[in-house]
Structure 1
Amino acid sequence: MLASVTITLNPAIDRTVLIPGFTAGATNRVESMHSHAGGKGINVASALSDLGHRVAVSGFLGHDNTAIFERLFIAKKLEDRFVRIPGSTRQCIKISHSEQSEITEVNFPGLTPSPNDIEFFQAMVGALDAQWFVLSGSIPEGVSADIYQHLIRTLRARNKKILLDTSGEPFALALEAVPHIIKPNLHELSTFVGKPLKTDAEILEATHPLLDLGIELIIVSLGAEGALFITKTQTLKATPPQVNVRSTVGAGDAMVAGIISAQLQNLDLETTARLATACSLDAIQQLGPGLNSRQSVDQYRDQVTIIHHH
């Protein structure tokens, strides 16, 4: 049986282009370019695989440019359950200006799966056997915002566990179906409750109605300040040590992988918070998906500061 299935409805090929002194309206020369298969669920799966778990990936990929994804799936030993649809998977181009350490993003539109594609995808995911399902990222243009809500209802009916990591309307609608774990960042939670949350106390207050719904664990990520891990009975704050940040892309996804890995091992909340924070620490110090090594993750675990809120 699979440990986990991660769902990426709207994957992308991330291309990071280094153009020193980039100027709009002029001819620019590219110094270097890195491309990798991106998408939140794919990042989660890569990190979970690096932690030693058996993972399947699903969602929608365009027929015309699947090679970069298939190479990653083979390299990370991920079971490929993506539905292929006509067209090209979208690209996200990040132009790094190096000197100013500014980044200009150019995001292409994604593909729109047809109603038949969506039906086929839902039936296939419904038949996959895994303990945990991770639903993460945005929803493609033209797909109903309640697709995550439907998936959660289907999976809950089969006694599957669900972690949700999305935002906006899909997030709000999916909460009605009660996923087991959610991981909003501070901005996403503030948007959901309709007011800025400035203190830990305000954040905790905002999560109470969600815990009352039946959500078992809420992780609110606070960027460099770490994250709050909140259940009905306990709350703690995990703060990482300061490290050299190479790329914040995928830090949240590595954290999700740590949370799922902890669930699969039945770890307590403090150990979960340490592992999840260590995974995100590892991810920000390298480019591309996945983790450096389980050894580096283990080293970071002890460097995470845990404060229990009472």
Structure 2
Amino acid sequence: MTTAPRVVTVTLNPALDLTVQAARWQRGEVNAARAAQQDAGGKGVNVASFLADWGVSVTVTGLLGRDNASPFEALFRTKGVTDAFVRVPGATRVGLKIVDPEQGDTTDLNLPGLTVSDRALTDLHATLHAQTAAAEVVVMAGSLPPGVPAGFYAQEVARLRAQGRFVALDTSGDALREALTASTLPDLIKPNIHELETALGQPLPSDDAVLQAARELIRRGARLVAVSQGERGALLVTAADAVFARPPRVTVQSTVGAGDAMVAGLISAHLDGLDLPHTARRATAFSAGSITRLGAHLPSRPDLDTLAAQVTVLAAAPTL
């Protein structure tokens, strides 16, 4: 008898991430690279990889090109992740990540992805209905490829929440805008500050403005809003509390997947029933730990515990 996964992640636009390390590279010039590696990625794939490292039972689904599926399949085997991706004709896109280890920054070049046919969408809907039927948590993450309507996530959020699932969403652009203007919001929303400003169609020039925007989403039905702000940290808001978590300083290998690690930390904290301050510590530790290595891999639990103890958690309240 197969045990139902605790978490299902949905990635409609996965990518093979080619990460190139090039110190002090210059745009428009010939640059020397130190090293390169290719990893199976995409936001939901990364979330699943981090959760598997933590020991959570997780299934991955979405749309995956048949022509270059083997790196994904190898990752899922290694991590013990159940593969329920719908295979589609063609090759999954490649995303280029240029890491400058001396400057500590990463430049992303992301292609749009495979165009999705009506048949693939039909197969995807059938797979989602089957795979999410018994899951505790469903994580929908990443961009939508061509051929998938902008309202896809919003429709799935409404369906899944009506079935009692805890639904997390981490996306951007039109997909996030549609989800945030729908009548049913996700339980967990994890945008970065720029994604939230774009989705809301307004600047958020201060911490107070970000807090008020998050509280409005809570008022409309979200249970947890986490707004990441890069190396500054993240604001986490529920109906009862609001905190700001500042990460410890770490040696940065790559910032690719830091937001996905935070989502995984938030989900693991939800599964463990942690309160908001401890949730903030764990999610921030996941994120900080992930950037100390290349690829979607967590440090050991003792190392994560050490990082969590170094996170500064402050009460967040509007300035009067």
TM-score after normalising by structure 1: 0.93
Q: Is the 8 A contact 2:215 2:238 kept in 1?
A: no
> SS at the partner of 1:135?
strand
Structure 1 residue 101 displacement after superposition: 7.1
Distance in 1, matches of 2:154 and 2:141, equals: 12
Q: Is the 8 A contact 2:101 2:253 kept in 1?
A: no
> SS at the partner of 1:151?
helix
2:245 equivalent to 1:242:
no
Q: Which residue of 2 aligns with 1:173?
A: 178
Q: Which residue of 2 aligns with 1:75?
A: 78
Distance 1:306 1:31, change over 3 A: closer
Distance 1:18 1:228, change over 3 A: closer
Q: Which residue of 1 aligns with 2:192?
A: 185
Structure 1 residue 93 displacement after superposition: 2.1
Distance 1:29 1:258, change over 3 A: closer
Instruction: Name the aligned partner's letter for residue 61 of structure 2.
Output: S
Q: Which residue of 1 aligns with 2:215?
A: 208
Q: Is the 8 A contact 2:104 2:254 kept in 1?
A: no
Q: Is the 8 A contact 1:58 1:82 kept in 2?
A: yes
> SS at the partner of 1:130?
coil
Q: Is the 8 A contact 1:50 1:294 kept in 2?
A: no
Distance in 2, matches of 1:238 and 1:100, equals: 24
Distance 1:131 1:101, change over 3 A: closer
Q: Which residue of 2 aligns with 1:15?
A: 18
Number of aligned residue pairs? 310
Distance in 2, matches of 1:247 and 1:37, equals: 15
Q: Which residue of 2 aligns with 1:34?
A: 37
- State, as a whole percentage, how many aligned pairs show the same letter: 46
Structure 2 counterparts to residues 290-309 of structure 1, below 5 A: 290-309=297-316
Instruction: Name the aligned partner's letter for residue 7 of structure 2.
Output: S
2:49 equivalent to 1:46:
yes
Q: Which residue of 1 aligns with 2:140?
A: 135
Structure 1 residue 70 displacement after superposition: 0.5
Bigger drift between 204-213 and 77-86 goes to 204-213
Q: Which residue of 2 aligns with 1:155?
A: 160
Distance 1:266 1:150, change over 3 A: same
Instruction: Name the aligned partner's letter for residue 174 of structure 2.
Output: E
Deviations 1:224-276 (A, max 9, x none): 11111101121111111122211111111111001000111111111111110
> SS at the partner of 2:61?
strand
TM-score after normalising by structure 2: 0.90
> SS at the partner of 1:133?
strand
Deviations 1:264-295 (A, max 9, x none): 11111111111101100100111011202122
Deviations 1:4-54 (A, max 9, x none): 001110000011234678677887766532000010001100110111100
Deviations 1:113-136 (A, max 9, x none): 211211211121112221000011
Note the aligned Cα RMSD (angstroms).
2.1
Q: Which residue of 1 aligns with 2:90?
A: 87
Bigger drift between 231-240 and 104-113 goes to 104-113
Bigger drift between 27-36 and 213-222 goes to 27-36
Distance 1:179 1:105, change over 3 A: closer
Instruction: Name the aligned partner's letter for residue 151 of structure 1.
Output: E
Q: Is the 8 A contact 1:126 1:154 kept in 2?
A: no
Q: Which residue of 2 aligns with 1:112?
A: 115
Q: Is the 8 A contact 1:112 1:140 kept in 2?
A: yes
Q: Is the 8 A contact 2:243 2:315 kept in 1?
A: yes
Distance 1:308 1:174, change over 3 A: same
Q: Is the 8 A contact 1:180 1:217 kept in 2?
A: yes
